[in-house]
Structure formats: C-alpha cells, structure tokens
C-alpha cells in the first residue's frame, strides 16, 4: 500500500513539474523566436507600381509571421518625414522607403534618426541626397530606361520636337530624362520643345500638356517620366484632337499602358520596370540585414523596352 501511495505521489509531483514547465514556456517565452516589425512608406499609393511592389513585401512578411506597417505620405515630404519618425518610435526593426523628395532635409534627417536607432534601412525606386544613410538602395536602371526610349524614337521618326514630362524632385525620374536627353544630345534633328513637371501623376500631367498646347508649342513626341504621366498626356491629346501623330513614351510597363499597346496605337512604347522584383529584393534585403548578412550597397534591376511588336510576349493584366 505504501509503495502504491508513494508511486501516486511521485507521478503527481512529476506531472505538476511538467505542467509548470510547459506553462512557463508559453507564459514567458514568445511563440516565435523573434517577431520583427517592418515599416514601409512610399511616395504615393496612388500608383499601382507601388501597390504591386508592396504586395511582395506583404507576402514575405506574412510568411514569416512578422508585422508590416505601410504608410502613404501622398507626395508630401513633411508627412513622410513624420511617418518615418513615428515608425521608429513604434519600435520597427527594418524600414523600406521610397522618398517623396531625395533632397528634402526633413526626410534625410528622419532617415538619420532611424539609422541612429540601429534600424535597417532599404531605399527603393529612388535615392537620397545622403546616400550613406541607407544600408542598401534598390533601383531600376533608370538611366537606361531613358536611353531605350530615345533610341526607339530615333528609329521611328527622323526628326522630333519633344515635350518632356518630368518629376524633378525624384532622382529616379531625373535619371530617366537624363538618359533620354544624353542619347539625343548633339543630334540637330531632335530637340526639346517644352518641359513640364507633373510629379508623375496622371491628374497633373493632363493639364500640363493642355497648357503647352494652348501656348501653341508644336511637338510630335512626348517623353514621360512614367506611365501615369503618359496616360495623362494621352487624355489631353484626345481632348484636343491634334491633326498629327504624337509618339508617346512612358516608363513602367504598367498593365494600363501594356493594354493600350496591345489594343490601340496611342502609345509608342514603355520602358518596363519590375516592381515585383524590386519588392522581393527589398524585403529579402531587410531580412538579410536583420540576420547580420552582407547586402550590396546598391542593387540595380534591369529594364526592357516594350513595344506593340513584342507586346504579345507579356502579360497585360499584371506587372512583371
């Protein structure tokens, strides 16, 4: 009887100890070894390019059971600077930024603030004036995008009066226009008739092109910094019923412009970026940095020109 009694007591105590250990593990240890907080702020979410890019970030963060905070400054530099500082104060571990204005002092100061807090920083689709602050910068080959558009234009038309649609505060846009201008430089058959800053927005590009037309400035080519501004230019051209063909070039390879390339003759070509690749590389870089692995200071993603002749090789319903 004593042996049986002591056996029961032994197993009761052992069971209590095991249960206590299990409870302690769940009570005091996290379910995940480390749950990271990632912040992301893009110059605007009123552009499907950034939506597509961010979807890749969301996918990877979800797979890792981590937390993502996505912010939209709506092209407001001051707002983006505040967003960065607030994300830092909320305890993020990594930060993905597409700067509204790479030269803006408030944004650069906010990035420095994040850097001092040892947060891993990845810049996407543009650059910062203080390029030593980010751990890595991921860019399309923006200069080459402009070169590709210029070369195609020179094949299509023997001479051109060109309207440039720009976004002068975004390094990526500046590089595209610079690539275009450098390619035609010195060739008297091609000259810039006018230029307008539309911030890469459809709703701003349309009235800007309208203004140029009203001034009586003649042009037969539009080089747009991106596809949204190219779409705004097209809307303006349709409203004015010009009697000559205008060759419109964009940069992005967006579903909307690819659809126009396939179904109409409104657009001449678009230099295609890959927001899917950029998003994947951005979040992969964050996780590598958090794991103390080396990441290149700059990652360049190639671009390719899409014309009507090759549009059947692309999925027009989505991004590449």
What does the alpha-carbon distance between residue 43 and residue 25 come to, in Å, rounded to a whole number?
A: 43
Task: Quote the pLDDT of residue 243.
Answer: 74
Q: Give the chain's domains with CATH numbers.
A: 37-140+275-301 (3.40.50.2300), 142-272+307-313 (3.40.50.2300)
Task: Quote the pLDDT of residue 241.
Answer: 83
Taking the model in full, what pTM does it have? 0.84
Residue 190: which of 157, 229, 149 has the closest Cα?
157
pLDDT: which is higher, 9 or 37: 37
Q: What is the pLDDT of residues 49-101, one digit of tens each?
A: 999 999 999 999 999 999 999 999 999 999 999 999 999 999 999 999 999 99
Pull the structure tokens for residue 310.
Answer: 């090759």
pLDDT band at 130 (very low <50, low <70, confident <90, very high): confident
Pull the structure tokens for residue 222.
Answer: 């539009």
Q: What is the pLDDT of residues 251-283, one digit of tens each?
A: 999 999 999 999 999 999 999 999 999 999 999
Task: Quote the pLDDT of residue 284.
Answer: 98
Show the DSSP H helices in 118-201 as ranges.
Answer: 142-156, 171-184
Over its C-alpha atoms, the chain yields an Rg (Å, rounded) of 26
Q: What percentage of the chain exceeds 90 in pLDDT?
A: 86
What does the alpha-carbon distance between residue 83 and residue 107 come to, in Å, rounded to a whole number?
A: 10
What does the alpha-carbon distance between residue 162 and residue 160 come to, in Å, rounded to a whole number?
A: 6
Q: What is the pLDDT of residues 197-216, one digit of tens each?
A: 999 999 999 999 999 999 99
Q: What is the pLDDT of residues 224-254, one digit of tens each?
A: 999 999 999 999 999 998 878 999 999 999 9
Task: Quote the pLDDT of residue 29.
Answer: 46
């Amino acid at each position: 009887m004593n042996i049986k009694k002591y056996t029961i007591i032994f197993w009761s105590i052992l069971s209590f100890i095991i249960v206590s250990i299990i409870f302690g593990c769940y009570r005091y240890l996290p379910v995940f070894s480390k749950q990271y907080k990632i912040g992301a702020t893009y110059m605007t979410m009123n552009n499907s390019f950034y939506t597509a890019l961010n979807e890749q970030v969301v996918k990877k963060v979800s797979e890792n059971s981590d937390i993502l905070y996505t912010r939209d400054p709506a092209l407001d530099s001051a707002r983006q600077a505040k967003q960065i500082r607030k994300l830092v104060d909320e305890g993020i571990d990594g930060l993905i930024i597409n700067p509204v204005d790479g030269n803006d002092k408030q944004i650069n100061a906010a990035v420095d603030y994040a850097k001092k807090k040892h947060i891993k920083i990845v810049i996407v689709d543009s650059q910062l004036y203080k390029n030593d602050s980010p751990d890595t910068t991921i860019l399309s080959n923006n200069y080459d995008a402009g070169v590709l558009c210029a070369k195609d234009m020179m094949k299509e038309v023997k001479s051109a009066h060109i309207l440039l649609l720009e976004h002068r505060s975004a390094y990526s846009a500046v590089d595209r226009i610079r690539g275009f201008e450098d390619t035609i430089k010195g060739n008297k058959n091609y000259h810039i008739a006018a230029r307008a800053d539309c911030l890469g927005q459809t709703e701003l590009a349309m009235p800007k092109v309208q203004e140029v037309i009203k001034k009586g400035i003649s042009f037969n080519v539009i080089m747009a910094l991106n596809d949204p501004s190219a779409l705004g230019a097209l809307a303006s051209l349709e409203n004015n019923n010009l009697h000559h063909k205008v060759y419109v070039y964009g940069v992005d390879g967006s579903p909307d412009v690819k659809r126009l390339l396939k179904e109409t003759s409104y657009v001449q070509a678009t230099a295609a970026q890959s927001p899917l690749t950029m998003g994947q590389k951005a979040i992969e870089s964050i996780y590598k940095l958090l794991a103390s692995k080396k990441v290149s200071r700059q990652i360049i993603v190639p671009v390719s020109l899409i014309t009507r002749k090759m549009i059947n090789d692309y999925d027009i319903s989505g991004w590449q």
